[in-house]
Amino acid sequence: MSNLSELFGSNVFNDFVMRERLPKATYKAIKKTIDEGVPLGQDVAEVVASAMKDWAIEKGATHFTHWFQPMTGVTAEKHDSFISPTADGKIILEFSGKELIKGEPDASSFPSGGLRATFEARGYTAWDCTSPAFVKENTLFIPTAFCSYTGEALDKKTPLLRSMEALSKQAMRVLKSFGNNTSKRVITTVGPEQEYFLIDKEMYKQRKDLVFTGRTLFGAPAPKGQELEDHYFGTLKEKISAFMHELDMELWKLGVSAKTKHNEVAPSQHELAPIFSTTNIATDHNQLVMETMRKVANRHDLVCLLHEKPFAGVNGSGKHNNWSMTTDDGMNLLDPGKTPHENVQFLVMLCAVIGAVDDYAELLRLSAANPGNDHRLGANEAPPAIISVFLGEQLTDILNQLKNGCAKSCIQGGELKIGVNTLPALPKDSTDRNRTSPFAFTGNKFEFRMVPSSATISKSNYTLNTIVAESLCNIADRLENASDFDSEVEALLKEMVVKHEKIIFNGNNYAEEWIEEAAKRNLPNITSTVDAAKEIITEKSISLFKKHSVLSKAELESRYEIMLEQYVKTINIEGLTALEMAKRQILPAGIAFVQAVADSVNSVKATGIDIDISAQTELLVELVGALNGLKKEIKELEAVIFKASEMEDDIYKQACCYRDGVFTRMNDLRAYADKLEILVDKDYWPIPTYGDMLFND
């Protein structure tokens, strides 16, 4: 299509539009705010608002909304129209600087984890001008942060923005100590690869578990799964291809640089990857990607499942969070570069990340925890719950050289060479990669592979930014005070390798032996959301986030509450859905089929012919056995849901009861239901099977 370049970003109030439509002085002022964080004057806001309104109306907008990301993890919007009545009974269209900068949605119905009690219900949204506004469905969307009236973050964007500041500050200190006088800021960049499933809408509607929980709570495996490996990168079916095409077009209009699309490993599973951008924009765009996937799928009579584990027995979905740090003048700090000087700086940055991941493995694990991911992490699927770093042979070897101190003899002509003249070109080829590692270096960036497919990437990234900021801070403290810079760098690198090499693992992360080996290395292995949650409120976590002004103690405590509350609510909904399906669909189907088989037994007997009816009688015995088991488990599940729901005084204990009681009982119930599924006549079975849903074309 020839006008693709016109289509891209056509609904975005981006730099190009601003340059065209804003007076020069206003444009300069807003750029200074966007690029350097200089506070925005009211007069500038008025001019921007007016230009934004005119532009949006030309694009068909009648309303505007502050678009924010409350702790629910999804986005929120409240639309206001531009209209303002005049005395003569007409209207004019208005949008003020004040309305652009600040909104006041009622905060009381969003999760606040106790912050609400302390700080009143009121909250406000504040324009984040670093993420461009856009028009969608006749509304101007303005990306905003969402805070309580006293400034506590009630959302997922605020800590992300704060963490980007923190990282920039500390990384700049390190760069300055390396003599960099040109860069002004360091920006973290992210390219999130999004996995998802597409299934037929009609079948979806027949599955209450998918409707209420996003995953199947029942379902015997289909005869075929993913074992033939014929879906990964396979030819796109027409229907899927049409969906993907429309998805791309919609995303491009919104300025989302959707780049790569392909079939994934599991049947009916696919992936979309955009070109990376700053963490903040990448996070907003990922929300748009997820939302647009759902909407476009619906238009194609499909449903997009973003849950981490919609189907047992085949791969679940995640997000590969590709992450790096870049200076405002375009230097990727995780790119080894070509000169020895660049190489040393690269090694310092690399070790900063490795050190951060080792020191704060628990927090990083926590950042990827949600109930859906509990089915993946630590449950024999990619990646494991144990955090480790993959570097590849070459880099690991270089770090070993650093550790063994051959560096000293290599300092020549005042130039630090730390054991290698220049680093060899590192492979960026995906074939060399270790696909089982949760945190892999991939040539010029790290790929954090644990991030849950349904969640915002904000949490993983503000955690990553903050732990790396801390690591860089410690490095800067050393380098700024060094009397001999070169030998200090050398000593520092050596110490860091010695201290943190335990986190490096290049082998197969799925192997049993790795679990044992990791335990020997004292690496944490946190297998559930409930256990991970506690890591938010440890002394270590509180002092880290406070030091870098990312989250206060009160904010962390509220996040802990919310995380456990959401866990409890999620498993409760799953438990109730399982009960409803078991009692009202599966049990009756089983009984009806038992009746049919029993009738057959009686009919044959009634003929009076002496005939072997062991087929029917054996089946009858098996069926009734499974039905009894199912009924027993229904009662058990009912009891444990009741017990868990009563434990309201202690959210942690309650969450444990949902995990160890309700969740476990749901699986026991499922075992009987799945057994019945393969015994009962297909015509009697009330819900689409795995085979129906996953192989539907």
List residues near ligand ADP by CB under 6 A: 189-191, 193, 260, 273-276, 322-324, 332, 430, 444-445
CA distances from 419 to 123, 215, 342, 494, 502 (A): 55, 52, 14, 11, 21
Parallel, antiparallel or unpaired: strands 139-148 and 63-68: parallel
The single-letter code of the amino acid at 196 is Y
CA distances from 344 to 174, 189, 326, 371, 665 (A): 12, 21, 16, 41, 55
Cβ closer to Mg ion: 447 or 555? Answer: 447
Cβ closer to ligand ADP: 274 or 438? Answer: 274
Answer yes or no: are the C-beta atoms of 221 and 498 closer than 8 Å. no
Binds 278: which of ligand ADP, Mg ion, none (CB < 5-8 Å by kind)? none
φ, ψ at 576 (rounded to 5°): -65, -35
Cβ closer to ligand ADP: 324 or 585? Answer: 324
Question: Whole-number minimum distance, CB 281 to ligand ADP, in Å?
Answer: 12
Tokens of 122: 């009121």
Question: Whole-number minimum distance, CB 263 to Mg ion, in Å?
Answer: 15
Cβ closer to ligand ADP: 256 or 551? Answer: 256
Cβ closer to ligand ADP: 194 or 577? Answer: 194
CA distances from 240 to 199, 215, 244, 297, 389 (A): 10, 21, 6, 9, 35
Which residues ranging from 602 to 661 are in contact with Mg ion (CB under 5 A)? none
- In total, the chain counts a number of residues equal to 697
Answer yes or no: are the C-beta atoms of 59 and 11 closer than 8 Å. yes
Q: 401: which residues sit within 8 A by CB, 6+ positions away?
A: 407, 419, 420
Binds 276: which of Mg ion, ligand ADP, none (CB < 5-8 Å by kind)? ligand ADP
Binds 324: which of Mg ion, ligand ADP, none (CB < 5-8 Å by kind)? ligand ADP
What region, left, alpha or beta, does residue 139 occupy, with left being phi > 0 and alpha being psi -120 to 50 degrees? Answer: beta
Cβ closer to Mg ion: 95 or 448? Answer: 448
Binds 310: which of ligand ADP, Mg ion, none (CB < 5-8 Å by kind)? none
Give the x/- contact pattern for Mg ion in 2-41, rule: CB under 5 A. Answer: ----------------------------------------
Binds 406: which of Mg ion, ligand ADP, none (CB < 5-8 Å by kind)? none
320 is a contact residue toward Mg ion (CB under 5 A) = yes
Question: Whole-number minimum distance, CB 322 to Mg ion, in Å?
Answer: 7
Binds 83: which of Mg ion, ligand ADP, none (CB < 5-8 Å by kind)? none
Question: Whole-number minimum distance, CB 277 to ligand ADP, in Å?
Answer: 8
Cβ closer to Mg ion: 157 or 320? Answer: 320
Question: Whole-number minimum distance, CB 269 to ligand ADP, in Å?
Answer: 15
Q: 447: which residues sit within 8 A by CB, 6+ positions away?
A: 320, 321, 322, 323, 439, 440, 441
Q: Which of 491, 500, 498 is nearest to 471 (CA)?
A: 500
Q: Residue 466 and residue 453: Cα distance in Å, rounded?
A: 22
Question: Whole-number minimum distance, CB 83 to ligand ADP, in Å?
Answer: 41
Binds 552: which of Mg ion, ligand ADP, none (CB < 5-8 Å by kind)? none
Question: Whole-number minimum distance, CB 231 to ligand ADP, in Å?
Answer: 17
Question: Whole-number minimum distance, CB 595 to ligand ADP, in Å?
Answer: 54
Binds 396: which of Mg ion, ligand ADP, none (CB < 5-8 Å by kind)? none
By CB under 5 A, how many residues form the interface with Mg ion? 1
Cβ closer to ligand ADP: 13 or 323? Answer: 323
CA distances from 81 to 63, 76, 104, 125 (A): 4, 17, 15, 17
Cβ closer to ligand ADP: 343 or 558? Answer: 343
Binds 506: which of Mg ion, ligand ADP, none (CB < 5-8 Å by kind)? none
665 is a contact residue toward Mg ion (CB under 5 A) = no
Question: Whole-number minimum distance, CB 320 to Mg ion, in Å?
Answer: 4
Cβ closer to Mg ion: 196 or 685? Answer: 196
Answer yes or no: are the C-beta atoms of 580 and 213 closer than 8 Å. no
Question: Whole-number minimum distance, CB 198 to ligand ADP, in Å?
Answer: 20
Beta-strand runs (E) in 528-607: none
Residue nearest to ligand ADP (CB): 191
Question: Whole-number minimum distance, CB 372 to Mg ion, in Å?
Answer: 20
Q: Residue 254 and residue 678: Cα distance in Å, rounded?
A: 47
φ, ψ at 544 (rounded to 5°): -60, -55
Cβ closer to ligand ADP: 229 or 649? Answer: 229
Q: Residue 75 and residue 366: Cα distance in Å, rounded?
A: 21
Question: Whole-number minimum distance, CB 390 to ligand ADP, in Å?
Answer: 13
Residue with structure tokens 């993890």? 73
Q: Which of 182, 455, 167 is nearest to 324 (CA)?
A: 167
Element (H, E) at 450: strand 446-452
Binds 274: which of ligand ADP, Mg ion, none (CB < 5-8 Å by kind)? ligand ADP
Cβ closer to ligand ADP: 353 or 568? Answer: 353
Query: Which residues contact Mg ion (rule: CB under 5 A)?
Result: 320
